[in-house]
Amino acid sequence: MPPDSLVCRENNIVTGVKYMKVKALLAIVASLSLAACAVPDEAPRHGGHDHGHSHGHNHDHGHAHQQQGGINASFNCENGLAVHVRSLSTDSIELRLDDKHAVLKSAVAGSGERYTSNTGLFGKGAEWHQKGSEAFFAFTDPYGNKVETSCNAR
């Protein structure tokens, strides 16, 4: 029968080897998890925006695309309004509606592009939130009524 010190030393070696294997396995799992989150440097892009997918066909979906100079598009709204949107700079747009117009400044948006103004079309607030060929338009009319409508690019 081996002495107690030899048995104890063998148990420590076995425990140490098991610990090192677990530690190495955890390091490998962590590395693979991080690698799975990596995004390629060049995702497929077209028309100035990213759809996040590529499956070998043309992506001309009729969106109101941003050109080199920014947005320049016309929209028909559910409430019958016709709105023309034109970029003035990287952070402002002009909305034209009949004989009225307003300049809106870029604002934080969860997605798409959002522009707001405290003076709006009739001297009151306005908001334009556009994503692709769809937009949400809110403003206060001359009578103080809050108007909200959805619009689609023509």
- pTM for the model: 0.56
Two structure tokens written together for 109:
């948006």
The predicted-structure confidence for 26-50, as pLDDT tens digits, reads as follows 555 444 444 444 433 333 333 444 4
Looking at 2.40.128, 2.30.29, 2.60.40, 1.10.287, the CATH number of the domain 72-153 comes to 2.40.128
Q: Which of 6-10, 65-69, 94-98, 147-151 has the lowest mean pLDDT?
A: 65-69
Q: How far is residue 74 from each of residues 2, 65, 77, 137, measured CA to CA in Å?
A: 91, 11, 10, 13
CA gap 131, 111 in Å, rounded = 7
What sign results for the dihedral spanned by CA atoms 101, 103, 108, 110?
Answer: positive
Q: What is the pLDDT of residue 71?
A: 76
Q: Is the pLDDT of residue 19 over 70?
A: no
How much is the average pLDDT of 131-143?
A: 94
> Token pair 């010190």 is at which residue?
5
pLDDT at 121: 85
Q: Give the start-end residues of each E strand in 64-144.
A: 72-77, 82-89, 92-97, 100-107, 113-117, 126-131, 134-140
**49-108: pLDDT as tens digits:** 444 444 443 333 444 444 445 679 999 999 999 999 999 999 999 999 988 999 999 999
pLDDT for the residue 120: 83
Q: What pLDDT is recorded for position 12?
A: 61
Is residue 21 pLDDT above 80, yes or no?
A: no
Q: Are 99 and 82 in contact (CB under 8 A)?
A: no
Q: What is the pLDDT of residues 113-127, one digit of tens each?
A: 999 999 888 888 899
Better-scored residue on pLDDT, 44 or 110:
110
- In angstroms, what is the C-alpha Rg of the chain? 30
Domain locations in the chain? Answer: 1-46, 72-153
For residue 87, give Cα distances in angstroms to 17, 79, 84, 98, 123. Answer: 66, 24, 10, 18, 20
